[in-house]
Amino acid sequence: MTGIHPRSLPARVDPRARRTSRLLLAVRAVAVLTSAAVLAGSGWGWHLLGVAEASVHRGDGVPTSGNTDVSGAAHAGRAMNLLLVGMDSRAGLSDAQEDANSTGGSDGELDTDTMILVHVPADGSGASFVSLPRDTYVEIPGHGEGKLNSAYADAHHAADGDAQAEDAAGMGLLVQTVSRFTGLQIDHWAELDLAGFLQLSSIVGGVQVDLCRATTDSYSGAAFPAGVQTIEPDQALSFVRQRHGLPQGDVDRTIRQQVYIAGVLRDLLSADVLLDPAQQQRIVARVGDSVTLDRGLDVGDLVGQLQGVRPADLTFQTVPGLVNARVHGADVLQPPSADAVHAFFADLGAPAAAPSSAPSSAAPAASAAPAPTSGDYDTPQRTAGDTSCID
């Protein structure tokens, strides 16, 4: 186990939809924040809030047991920690859409392959998106150790009840697992299905990205040249799903998702959207119809915290310090020590250090932070305004 140096980062399940096989789609979950961004720029926000509340689906609340903040640093004031969850639910997709997007058939699995912790500070100065790769090896409360993406399925299969009870059990254990891993209290969760992602992609149109090299992948249907290009709506799923053929595999896939989310947010924060009431209403209604939120998440509160946010205020990163390991015959991503991981996430809410106005000859104070390490993967921090090339 190695350590990481904590870095300063500027920040249900719809019971009607049965969960199916694994698929990373972090972009689906970003609809919660994109809706907030659109609302924040509108002079008729109260009307749009009504549209959002009327169309959004609601699931069970966030568990309080096994969901606590061990540091207090990242949960001061009205700061919010939101777990974005993407699952492979093909509900609402036609056969043609499944074929066009190379989603394949369902194998009955319930693994959650998209998990992003979003921290919104109390002052609403931005938001930090931290991707949690699916193969991260963690302790799952009551179930021993395993891959992070198995927590939901473990509780879902063990639940004795109807579909809603099974979904609630799955999300509850996932929240507890993420809380234990990060050391943070998870205040809310949000989930989008596959059809919702396609709706979002069609609303915003193409997203411009820059690829460092050409890449193809028969599994996801990805085929992209090198250089600056526009990912059209019908290419979006292939872009965010690809992991085969990428230097860092699944970690590069999380970076792909972050870049796509950033592009969506740039578009939704643009003047074209902020000055177009009709477009705003279409976005809010269509996104709201596809997203499921916990019962306690007040959309108006989230909007209020994000007033005035800019692309440069939104940061993205994959949890650092992960190393390749093999456990019981399975390939996993071994995280640093619990203390190191908790220190990293606690730093999400730490205020920036004030610059000194005078030089000091005193020796620097000893730090209790774990020793820095990059792990086996490059997980740089970027903002929504960063357009540098990726794999």
Question: Mean pLDDT lowest for which of 9-13, 350-354, 387-391?
Answer: 9-13
| Confidence band for 309, pLDDT divided at 50, 70 and 90 | confident
Rounded percentage of the chain residues whose pLDDT exceeds 70:
72
- Angle at which helices 338-346 and 163-182 pack, to 10 degrees? 90
Asked whether residue 12 is domain-assigned, the answer is no
Residue in 215, 262, 228 with CA at minimum distance from that of residue 381: 262
Of 30 and 66, which is predicted with more confidence?
66
| Confidence band for 108, pLDDT divided at 50, 70 and 90 | low
* pLDDT surpassing 60 at residue 358: no
Q: What average pLDDT score do residues 158-176 get?
A: 90
What confidence tens digit (pLDDT) does each residue in 196-235 have?
677 777 777 889 999 999 999 998 889 999 999 999 988 9
Given the DSSP bridges, would you call strands 314-318 and 127-131 parallel, antiparallel or unpaired?
parallel
- Residues 2 and 6: their CA atoms lie apart, in Å, by 13
pLDDT for the residue numbered 188: 95
Highest mean pLDDT among 33-47, 58-72, 114-128, 372-386: 114-128
Asked whether residue 167 is domain-assigned, the answer is yes
| Alpha-carbon torsion (153, 288, 101, 217), positive or negative | negative
Residue 368's Cβ-side half-sphere holds a number of Cα atoms within 13 Å equal to 4
Give the three-state DSSP class for 330: strand
The residue behind tokens 């730093």 is 347
The whole model's pTM is what?
A: 0.81
- Angle at which helices 194-204 and 250-268 pack, to 10 degrees? 50
pLDDT for the residue numbered 367: 38
* pLDDT surpassing 80 at residue 6: no
Asked whether residue 357 is domain-assigned, the answer is no
Asked whether residue 7 is domain-assigned, the answer is no
Task: Please return the burial class of 141, using the count of CB atoms within 10 Å of its CB with bins 0-12, 13-18 and 19+.
Answer: middle
| Confidence band for 356, pLDDT divided at 50, 70 and 90 | very low
pLDDT for the residue numbered 318: 95
First-to-last C-alpha distance (Å) of the chain: 28
Asked whether residue 390 is domain-assigned, the answer is no
Given the DSSP bridges, would you call strands 222-224 and 215-217 parallel, antiparallel or unpaired?
antiparallel
Asked whether residue 53 is domain-assigned, the answer is yes
What confidence tens digit (pLDDT) does each residue in 44-87 have?
667 777 777 777 888 888 998 999 888 765 556 678 999 999 87
pLDDT for the residue numbered 194: 66
* pLDDT surpassing 50 at residue 339: yes
**Strand positions, DSSP E, 109-211:** 114-120, 127-131, 137-140, 144-147, 188-192, 207-211
CA distances from 88 to 28, 96, 113, 270, 303 (A): 10, 17, 8, 30, 28
Query: Residue 36 belongs to a domain with what CATH number?
Result: 3.40.630.190
Residue 356's Cβ-side half-sphere holds a number of Cα atoms within 13 Å equal to 6
Concatenated DSSP letters of 254-268: HHHHHHHHHHHHHHH
Give the three-state DSSP class for 348: helix
For the chain, the average pLDDT equals: 78
Host domain of residue 196: 26-352+371-383
Of 310 and 339, which is predicted with more confidence?
339
| Phi and psi angles of residue 316, each rounded to the nearest 5 degrees, phi first | -135, 140
* pLDDT surpassing 80 at residue 90: no
Asked whether residue 16 is domain-assigned, the answer is no
Asked whether residue 365 is domain-assigned, the answer is no
pLDDT for the residue numbered 100: 56
User: How many domains, in total, are found in the chain?
Assistant: 1
What confidence tens digit (pLDDT) does each residue in 247-288 have?
998 899 999 999 998 998 888 777 677 777 787 787 777 777
pLDDT for the residue numbered 112: 81
Residues 69-85 as b or e (16 or more Cβ within 10 Å = b): bbbebbbeeebbbbbbb
Tallying the residues shown for the chain, one arrives at 391
Give the three-state DSSP class for 31: helix
